[in-house]
């Protein structure tokens, strides 16, 4: 499996700073970047992006009025060159407060849902909760990749294979169920706890207690043949509690039944 990376940036802020750092890591220095101007996007992003990145990669600026979803899908199609290629679309999102209602009302929420129905696409959320409007000038030094697995099925296997393809050294399976996950060929962590949400949050916060560590949580997403997402209660609970968690990147890997 090959992984290609695209950052869709609406602004150059703290979340985008983290997204660029993450994209460079999993893209091994190579990734695409796209911006579609709109009423709520950063009007000065082009010049500041060049200063911030040194011009690499170039920010692909589309005309105002362009349909953002169509533009992202167009870039995804360019990056995908075969059935063995996965495109990770990195979506930086900055919030001034933790609000699931505000997150669901954003245009990016609809973009995520559309991308998860697109074959060969993984959606990675890089969020920041802050009032800062510019990059802070600091990113973590270490990325830990953790695949959350409760049931051993094709969706879990696909998520593990995707995580391996990222080429990150620190990668483990986090076993949240009762099945044996040693067959994935990765080190396994088995955090203790009675409630799933508290178990996962406690585990993640032990890692992010180190300010130089970010955690990439990889979650299987099950999609029916009619492209409808199968959102179980536990999966939604995990997403809700991790979305605003500092130094956590949440990657959704869709699997079609």
pLDDT digits (tens, 9 = 90+) for 151-204: 899 999 999 999 999 999 999 999 998 899 988 999 999 998 888 889 999 999
Are 237 and 154 within one domain? yes
Instruction: Provide the domain limits for residue 226.
Output: 142-256
- Cα–Cα distance between 80 and 86 in angstroms, integer? 7
Q: Are residues 92 and 6 in the same domain?
A: yes
Q: Are residues 70 and 121 in the same domain?
A: yes
Cα separation, 58 vs 202, in Å, equals: 39
Contact 146, 218 (CB under 8 A): yes
* Same domain, yes or no: 68 and 184: no
In a domain, 50, yes or no: yes
Residues 56 and 119 occupy one common structural domain: yes
The DSSP call for residue 199 is H
Query: Do 98 and 202 reside in the same domain of the chain?
Result: no
Confidence of residue 92 (pLDDT cuts 50, 70, 90): very high
Domain assignment present for residue 69? The answer is yes
Handedness of CA 232, 170, 140, 107 (dihedral sign): negative
Residue 136 lies inside a defined structural domain of this protein: no
**Are residues 227 and 153 both part of a single domain?**
yes
* pTM, full prediction: 0.93
Same-domain pairing of 110 and 38: yes
The answer, yes or no, to whether the previous bond of 57 is cis (omega within 30 of 0) is yes
Closest alpha carbon to 229 in 255, 202, 211, 191? 255
Which residues pair with residue 94 across a beta bridge? 128
125 with 153, same domain? no
Are both 157 and 249 inside the same structural domain?
yes
Q: Is residue 134 part of a domain?
A: no
**Size of the chain in residues:** 257
| 135 assigned to some structural domain | no
Query: Total domain count for the chain?
Result: 2
pLDDT at residue 227, rounded to an integer? 47
pLDDT, averaged across the chain: 89
CA 111, CA 6: separation in Å to the nearest integer? 14
pLDDT in tens, 103-144: 777 888 889 889 988 889 999 999 999 888 888 888 999 999
CATH assignment at residue 112? 3.40.50
The verdict on 50 and 121 lying in the same domain is yes
Residues 146, 225, single domain; the answer is yes
């Amino acid at each position: 499996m090959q992984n290609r990376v695209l950052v869709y940036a609406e602004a150059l802020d703290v979340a985008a700073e983290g997204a660029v750092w993450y994209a460079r890591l999993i893209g091994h220095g190579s990734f695409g970047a796209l911006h579609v101007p709109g009423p709520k996007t950063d009007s000065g992003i082009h010049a500041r992006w060049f200063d911030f990145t040194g011009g690499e990669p170039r920010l692909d600026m589309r005309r105002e009025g362009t349909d953002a979803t169509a533009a992202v899908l167009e870039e995804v199609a360019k990056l995908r060159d075969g059935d063995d290629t996965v495109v990770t679309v990195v979506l930086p999102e900055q919030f001034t407060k933790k609000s699931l209602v505000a997150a669901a009302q954003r245009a990016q929420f609809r973009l995520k849902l559309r991308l998860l129905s697109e074959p060969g696409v993984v959606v990675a959320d890089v969020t920041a909760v802050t009032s800062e409007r510019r990059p802070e000038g600091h990113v973590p030094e270490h990325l830990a990749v953790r695949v959350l697995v409760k049931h051993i099925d094709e969706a879990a296997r696909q998520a593990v294979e995707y995580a391996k393809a990222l080429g990150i050294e620190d990668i483990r399976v986090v076993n949240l169920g009762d099945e044996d996950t040693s067959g994935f060929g990765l080190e396994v962590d088995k955090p203790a706890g009675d409630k799933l949400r508290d178990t996962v949050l406690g585990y993640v916060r032990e890692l992010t207690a180190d300010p130089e560590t970010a955690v990439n949580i990889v979650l299987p997403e099950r999609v029916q043949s009619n492209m409808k997402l199968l959102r179980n209660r536990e999966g939604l609970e995990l997403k809700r509690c991790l979305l605003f968690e500092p130094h956590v990147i949440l990657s959704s890997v869709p699997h079609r039944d």
